[in-house]
């Protein structure tokens, strides 16, 4: 019988290797895993039961809320609040930080999540995902929770990952010791280790961006796209363009095959001058995974993980993936800003 490590076993083995580990993280992770299974079950039934379409409400991002979005949010809120190890949570769907009520046991961890990213793809049976990012509070547990406990730099994440509801359901995460992927075996109801120690190819061959918005980009960003499409780039031929419009799916493909995901700043909407993706619940966790797999993530000027968040729903330009490709983006932006200074 082949060796089949479950995600719980993997976390427990790691816990044993961390001196002073209390089991709190394991408890939190178990609730995340259970939530992922429950959400996956609902996603798999979409089309058969009444979970497609809109709830009729609009979320904090000004987007219409999908029924599955709302369901996933409720599952995560309920389960994670009962882990007994969190002091606060934040969701892409909620305007503010949610403190765990005093009536429930609490701990030092903080989780930020996007319950169902790519939800415009739900009704057409295209891959969607859950993204999460975990921190430890910095202030004393006796003191009142500070916004700085939740708004930490991405480099302070203790763990991050995503669940991809695709041709199979996969959980990919890092606790700072590399990236590991587990596939849900529906016959036993367990996530089994299928992709140990994932490394992103140093040189990519795919670029993923919503090219339809090119006319709204600045000159640097247009140069970046021209580079990936040029036969004179590092590959000596144009990269393949692949864009699903579902961050988890686009990121996951590029993680395994090598490539770069881009959501640059654009001038379409004056309310969103720094792009669409949110630093805390989308970019930071993906940047953490990318770096742990040997890749990079930048906003064009500084590493995503070094950005000090100003508010919970902050948006940043995002370039993330294979090391050589992201370095090229940084070079193009740096040369442009050097040129601007000279002019």
When the beta carbons of 203 and 210 are compared against ligand AFP, the nearer one is: 210
Q: Which of 164, 172, 247, 289 binds ligand AFP (CB under 6 A)?
A: 247
Binding residues for ligand AFP restricted to 130-189, rule: CB under 6 A: none
Beta-sheet pairing, 109-117 with 86-91: parallel
Choices 16-24, 95-103, 118-126, 222-230; region in contact with ligand AFP by CB under 6 A: 118-126
When the beta carbons of 223 and 272 are compared against ligand AFP, the nearer one is: 272
First to last CA, the chain: 67
The answer to whether residue 123 forms part of the interface with ligand AFP (CB under 6 A) is no
CB of 271 to ligand AFP, least distance (A): 14
Q: Which two tokens stand for residue 147?
A: 């916004």
- 326 neighbors 170 (Cβ within 8 angstroms): no
CB of 282 to ligand AFP, least distance (A): 6
CB of 315 to ligand AFP, least distance (A): 10
The answer to whether residue 291 forms part of the interface with ligand AFP (CB under 6 A) is no
The answer to whether residue 93 forms part of the interface with ligand AFP (CB under 6 A) is no
When the beta carbons of 22 and 210 are compared against ligand AFP, the nearer one is: 210
Alpha-carbon span 106 to 104, nearest angstrom: 6
Alpha-carbon span 123 to 116, nearest angstrom: 13
The answer to whether residue 322 forms part of the interface with ligand AFP (CB under 6 A) is no
155-187 burial code (b ≥16 CB/10 A, e <16): eebbbbbbbbbbeebbbbbbbeeebbbbbbeee
When the beta carbons of 245 and 339 are compared against ligand AFP, the nearer one is: 245
- 155 neighbors 292 (Cβ within 8 angstroms): no
φ, ψ for residue 287 (rounded to 5)? Answer: -65, -40
Q: Which of 31, 117, 190, 291 binds ligand AFP (CB under 6 A)?
A: 117
**String of contacts with ligand AFP for each residue 248-277, x by CB under 6 A:** ----------------------------xx
Alpha-carbon span 272 to 297, nearest angstrom: 20
The answer to whether residue 210 forms part of the interface with ligand AFP (CB under 6 A) is yes
Q: What is the DSSP string of 16-83?
A: HHSTT--SHHHHHHHHHHHHHHHHHHHHHHBTTBS-SSEEEEE-TTSPEEEHHHHHHHHHHHHHHHTT
Q: Which residues contact 40 (CB under 8 A, 6 or more apart)?
A: 163, 165, 169, 184
Q: Which of 47, 178, 196, 245 binds ligand AFP (CB under 6 A)?
A: 245
The answer to whether residue 327 forms part of the interface with ligand AFP (CB under 6 A) is no
CB of 121 to ligand AFP, least distance (A): 6
Total residues interacting with ligand AFP, rule: CB under 6 A: 12
Q: Which of 183, 246, 254, 298 binds ligand AFP (CB under 6 A)?
A: 246
Alpha-carbon span 262 to 206, nearest angstrom: 11
Contact residues: ligand AFP, CB under 6 A: 63, 117-121, 210, 245-247, 276-277
């Amino acid at each position: 019988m082949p060796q089949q490590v479950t995600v719980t076993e993997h976390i427990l083995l790691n816990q044993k290797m961390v001196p002073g580990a209390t089991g709190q993280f394991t408890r939190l992770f178990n609730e995340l895993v259970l939530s992922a299974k429950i959400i996956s079950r609902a996603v798999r039934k979409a089309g058969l039961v009444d979970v497609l379409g809109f709830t009729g409400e609009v979320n904090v991002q000004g987007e219409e809320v999908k029924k599955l979005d709302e369901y996933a949010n409720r599952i995560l809120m309920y389960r994670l609040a009962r882990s007994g190890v969190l002091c606060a949570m934040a969701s892409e769907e909620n305007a503010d930080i949610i403190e765990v009520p005093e009536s429930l046991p609490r701990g030092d961890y903080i989780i930020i999540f996007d319950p169902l990213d790519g939800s415009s793809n739900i009704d057409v049976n295209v891959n969607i995902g859950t993204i999460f990012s975990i921190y430890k509070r910095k202030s004393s547990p006796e003191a009142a929770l500070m916004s700085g406990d939740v708004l930490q730099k991405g480099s302070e994440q203790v763990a991050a990952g995503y669940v991809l509801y695709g041709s199979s359901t996969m959980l990919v995460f890092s606790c700072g010791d590399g990236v590991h992927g587990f596939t849900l075996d529906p016959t036993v109801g367990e996530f089994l280790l299928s992709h140990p120690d994932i490394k992103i190819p140093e040189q990519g061959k795919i670029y993923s961006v919503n090219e339809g918005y090119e006319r709204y980009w600045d000159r640097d960003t247009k140069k970046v796209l021209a580079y990936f499409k040029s036969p004179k780039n590092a590959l000596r031929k144009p990269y393949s363009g692949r864009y699903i419009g579902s961050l988890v799916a686009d990121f996951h493909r590029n993680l395994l095959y090598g490539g770069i995901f881009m959501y640059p700043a654009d001038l379409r909407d004056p309310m969103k001058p720094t792009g669409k993706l949110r630093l805390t619940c989308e970019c930071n966790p993906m940047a953490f995974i990318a770096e742990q797999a040997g890749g990079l993530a930048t906003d064009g000027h500084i590493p995503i993980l070094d950005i000090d968040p100003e508010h919970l729903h902050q948006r940043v330009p995002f370039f993330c993936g294979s090391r050589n490709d992201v370095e090229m983006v940084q070079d193009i932006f740096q040369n442009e800003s050097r040129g601007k200074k000279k002019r």
